[in-house]
Amino acid sequence: MASEAIKFLLGDDRIPRSWYNIAADLPEPPSPVLHPETRAPVTPADMAAIFPPSLIAQEMATEREIEIPEPVREVYALWRPTPLFRARFLERALDTPARIYYKYEGVSPTGSHKPNTAVAQAFFNHADGTRRLATETGAGQWGTSLAFAGGIFGVPVDVFMVRVSFDQKPYRRAAMEAYGARCVASPSEETAAGRQILSEDPQSTGSLGIAISEAVETAATREDTKYALGSVLNHVMLHQTVIGLETIEQLALADAVPDVIVGCTGGGSNFAGLVFPFLAETLRGGRRYRIIAAEPTACPTLTRGAYAYDFGDTAHLTPLLKMRTLGSTFVPTGIHAGGLRYHGMSPLVSQLLDLGLIEARAYDQTPCFAAGVTFARAEGIVPAPEANHAIRAVIDEALVCKQEGRARTILFNLCGHGHFDMQAYADYFAGKLEDRPYSEASLTRSLGGLPEVSAAE
């Protein structure tokens, strides 16, 4: 009986043939991206220094479906379609009448959803003649995924890795090198942005904002090099929609319709990947779902950030995006969910929150790890610390179902496994994790530095 099954699988022939572009269905077009100096809307020519033409076109695309090139589908077939599970053991452990389903992206070569866009970006860069890619990585998930994808399409990758992670996570660096990438600790002597920071503070441990500045500068100043970003931008959200498109087919096999859909949000891409294809139905007058974005209290971009134009990096080299932001000078406390520590949020996800189509909740990291451990003991997969935020929200919802005696169907994205993050679990078991919400004073300070924008809005 299909509805009793635990696992819902699709054949390779069911890997989606197109990505879904939500911009086509939004009631208002997304706010324009502004030039960092003139503050006028950017043109494709402005972006040509750092991105290849096909990705610029996708960034600004208005058509609903964008074809996935066959070579990209071939690489996707290494791990896609990913499984959808019914979390029966978790349901039993919680003694809840809720039906819980999760899409598992941890089966990818690098253990998370990130290769869905890394492979597409490497393919389009190669097709457009890019000779080298520069990028940044915090904890290493994105750098590892782009290293893998660049290797497949023969595009060498330079990764600027935040110094503190470079020193503390040697395995991540080794993984990038295993895939053939060059990994540089950031701030570095290789860029003006890096040298500037080092001249002020030779011991700087770096930040994602600084590493982005270094990668963007490298792309902007080298003829053969382009830049790749692992989240936030529209084309990244687009590539991730394979997650939700597959899930819709798998839920049909399970004969299930979700009432609640949950994802964790750093820059918004795994969340967007799952929920945008469901919102496609809502935006065209169909069913409405309750959609929850789960984020850390230590980096509360959606729940406490401003909805304003801001830079994506510390040195203010990137264009201005209208998004939920904590300010580009934001420095997160040392939480273990490395992927959820960025100051900004996808403009598309930010717009959906503004439209009231999604809601956001923030969680402290200790209860998130508790949720992750409950999940691991029930379902057997140790989740990435980022995913634990989604699991916390799911368990809370399932417990409400139990209280109310209601059998709601809950769907979430298990965006990655935690095998590279066992130190975080070790710290949790040793009682060393602290819950440090972002203080009102630092929030006011970092938001005080938002750029002035007179144009558009």
Ligand X SMILES: *Cc1c(COP(=O)(O)O)cnc(C)c1O
Tokens of 12: 């390779």
Query: In the complex with ligand X, which residue's Cβ is closer, 130 or 231?
Result: 231
Least Cβ distance, residue 144 to ligand X (angstroms): 9
Query: In the complex with ligand X, which residue's Cβ is closer, 191 or 270?
Result: 270
Nearest-angstrom CA–CA distance, 284 and 272: 17
Least Cβ distance, residue 43 to ligand X (angstroms): 26
Buried b / exposed e along 113-126 (16+ C-beta atoms within 10 A): bbbbbbbbbbbbbb
Least Cβ distance, residue 186 to ligand X (angstroms): 17
Nearest to 384 by CA among 418, 413, 415: 418
Beta carbons within 10 angstroms of residue 441's beta carbon: 8
Least Cβ distance, residue 70 to ligand X (angstroms): 26
Query: In the complex with ligand X, which residue's Cβ is closer, 50 or 299?
Result: 299
Least Cβ distance, residue 231 to ligand X (angstroms): 3
Nearest-angstrom CA–CA distance, 44 and 244: 29
Nearest to 311 by CA among 335, 287, 293, 327: 327
Least Cβ distance, residue 265 to ligand X (angstroms): 5
Binding residues vs ligand X (CB under 6 A):
112, 114, 141-142, 231, 264-271, 339-340, 384, 386-387, 415-416
CA angle 188, 192, 196 (to 5 degrees): 75
DSSP labels, 103-167: EE-TTSTTSBSTHHHHHHHHHHHHHTT--EEEEEESSSHHHHHHHHHHHHHT--EEEEEEHHHHH
Query: In the complex with ligand X, which residue's Cβ is closer, 86 or 239?
Result: 239
- Strand pairing category for 157-162 and 182-186: parallel
Q: Is the peptide bond before 81 cis (omega within 30 degrees of 0)?
A: yes
Nearest to 217 by CA among 176, 261, 180, 186: 186
Query: In the complex with ligand X, which residue's Cβ is closer, 86 or 341?
Result: 341
Least Cβ distance, residue 309 to ligand X (angstroms): 20
Beta carbons within 10 angstroms of residue 201's beta carbon: 9
Per-residue CA distances from 352 to 26, 95, 131, 388 (Å) = 9, 33, 36, 23
Least Cβ distance, residue 404 to ligand X (angstroms): 30
Query: In the complex with ligand X, which residue's Cβ is closer, 225 or 413?
Result: 413
* Amino acid of residue 200: E
Query: In the complex with ligand X, which residue's Cβ is closer, 317 or 415?
Result: 415
Query: In the complex with ligand X, which residue's Cβ is closer, 269 or 318?
Result: 269
